[in-house]
Structure 1
């Protein structure tokens, strides 16, 4: 029991904090040997198409187009393509009023990935950048992304997701903290070798490397970006290209989004089995398993196992004061999470409880997502989370 207890705690700790420490050390060693990576100059930038798949985004779409038109990029090298398939509001009508934007619209709603596949048949540029309709890019985002394609081994570039939290934010303040931590891990991942997956808020790929994923793919952005690594290309992280969006309206909305991501995560692991083979690319497999696979598979169950084993140990071991201390720490952590849930449900701001609450909510979502995918209940057609 004691061995299983410590092994469970170690894996949980490693997946969320230990990997970050190991990554930090490996990056420091790499810098000592070969120096800091040199970012290419923004010269001779490739032609680029910005693709936005929008479904019923009439609230944001005009502002999104204005934001896109304001992006810095060499004249004549950037095209804007908006796909509004299935939208039943005024999204398509609003897009059609902008002459600088190409509109693709179909009344049928087949899901985001079907819309993206359709858009890609019209893309003839060297690079394609994908971004969401409800996120807004910094002015130099496309320049900062596309400069990396001067390196022929770069197959995709992931931008940074930033979550804007207002003063009245509830437990979704944990969302902002989580993405700041994730951004740091991705920076180190990229410097060591490659980012293991991009977020759909902002990422890009060489047009020639785009592989249409299966129509039922849940995390199309994750799959599309990682498929390039199978062919030996890297995915680079560019924190100076960022997409900003507001946090989920509440934890219920964030939970809905996280369950979908978890279902997509287990689907992706099953479909990207070659990345689990360390003999193909040891460093990439190490990054992929450490950063993604552990979190999306065993960690939530090991958290439960560690608590149950801790209870059994103190119940059967007289004088095990240290394990009593460990049990009190675990119960205290989960107690803080329950208090976070209690205060959030009553719209009370006690931010000290938000991070443990968000952490537990994420892992609960993984369990829900695994069972939902196993039951075949997760559709690839996306349903937007309500935002603040």
Structure 2
């Protein structure tokens, strides 16, 4: 009996380690080996830039439109080749009134709100440029972002380009900004390595681009439109390039309650995406893409959180059974207790501004994994309405 429990304990431990640390190590080694024999080529400089559509889906974003438009107008790209589209379906504030002050902007509006995916499906019917860049109303992109993204498309194998998401952190952070900022720095490093090995695994809606010809309408109940859209393109044999020189700056969630809204919805969307992208689990057909997809995404949204929270009860069971070597299980349980105590301290300080961002990491890690279970419940009760409540941000 103890042997079976011991096996399960070490399997869970391996799963947690592999998902959050081991995969990154393997990825780093694989990239170094690959680039030793196949040095990466720099994207070509384009003499003639293609026309690009900057596509912004917005719902009741009147308070950020002027700042977003100022940001858009500062983009370093020929004015006659950059079209700006706003899809504002269902907006009931002054969003459309504010946008009316920008005559060079195309505004697509309908009174009915059916969610972001439906807005993208509808808006894409009007896009005529070969490249479309998606960005959110509340994120600011760097001046050279569009040129950097367009350069990445000089590789014919590239069907999608993922920009980098950055969280604006302060000298003294709350748990939401400190934890989210640390998480996205780690995510960005993994995405870059994924891209260098074969393909990034999905794109974040704050900033990404696709070849317009590769767009396919998505079911309107899709929760993670950016992820589904980008992975569908990868499924066709194209790669998702990661472009760290094109980035979107976004404020962190106002607090952990607002961050929880976001995380639960994202996890629900991730599990929904795993169901809808089942063929990508076939590593014999999709090779490296499947390996990266399973390691970087699928495990996080499915069995790894279960394994994480099984570790403590399994560890205690082994101690009660006096499994050998007993000192090893004592060491493991002591390490887990320390980790959970640090997370508890992070929870206590969640609504306070302090300088030590490290205290937020254990709390945010557990917070993310707990929200996987809440995401499962959310998806189980999901009635197909993809219009979701926005998380309030720090401004």
| Structure-1-length-normalised TM-score | 0.97
Contact 2:149–2:243 (CA under 8 A) maintained in structure 1:
yes
Rounded to whole Å, the distance in 2 between the matches of 1:313 and 1:124 is 63
Contact 2:58/2:88, CA 8 A, preserved across alignment: yes
Map Cα deviations across residues 46-90 of structure 1 (whole Å, 9 max, x no partner).
211000011111111111011111111134211000111111111
> How far 1:39 sits from its partner (Å)?
2.2
1:14 aligns with 2:18: yes
Contact 1:193–1:234 (CA under 8 A) maintained in structure 2? yes
Q: Say if 2:155 is the partner of 1:151.
A: yes
C-alpha contact (below 8 Å) 1:171/1:354 kept by paired residues: yes
**1:306 Cα deviation after fit:** 1.3
Cα distance in structure 2, aligned partners of 1:340 and 1:194: 35
* Shift in Å, 1:308: 1.0
Matched residue SS, 2:283: coil
Counterpart contact for 2:141–2:249, Cα < 8 Å? yes
User: Is 1:59–2:63 an aligned residue pair?
Assistant: yes
Aligned to 2:388: 382
Q: Deviations over 1:208-266 (max 9, x none)?
A: 00011100000001000110111111110000000001111111111110000000000
Q: Which residue of 2 aligns with 1:190?
A: 195
Structure 2 counterpart of 1:268? 273
Partner Cα separation in structure 2 for residue 244 and residue 114 of structure 1: 25
Cα distance in 2, alignment partners of residues 378 and 9 from structure 1: 36
Contact 1:37 1:191 in 2 (8 A): no
**How far apart are 1:377 and its partner, in Å?**
5.5
- Residue 355 of structure 1: aligned partner: 361
Q: Does 1:225 align with 2:230?
A: yes
**Structure 2: gaps (5+ residues):** none
Report 1:202-213 matches (<5 A).
Answer: 202-213=207-218
Equivalent positions of 1:316-327 (< 5 A) are 316-317=321-322, 320-327=326-333
Q: TM-score, normalised by structure 2?
A: 0.95
162-171 or 56-65: bigger deviation? 162-171
Matched pairs, number: 388
RMSD between superposed Cα atoms in Å: 1.4
Mapped pair 1:71 → 2:75: yes
Residue by residue, what CA displacement relative to the aligned partner does 1:277-329 show, whole Å, maximum 9, x if unpaired? 11212100000000000000011110111111101011111671121111010
1:174 is aligned, of 148, 155, 179, to 179
Partner of 2:116: 112
Structure 1's 257 and 69: CA in aligned 2 closer, same or farther, altered over 3 A?
A: same
Asked if 1 retains the 8 angstrom alpha-carbon contact of 2:255 and 2:351, the reply is no
Q: In 1, Cα distance between the equivalents of 2:55 and 2:350?
A: 37
Q: Which runs of 4+ in 1 moved over 4 A?
A: 345-350
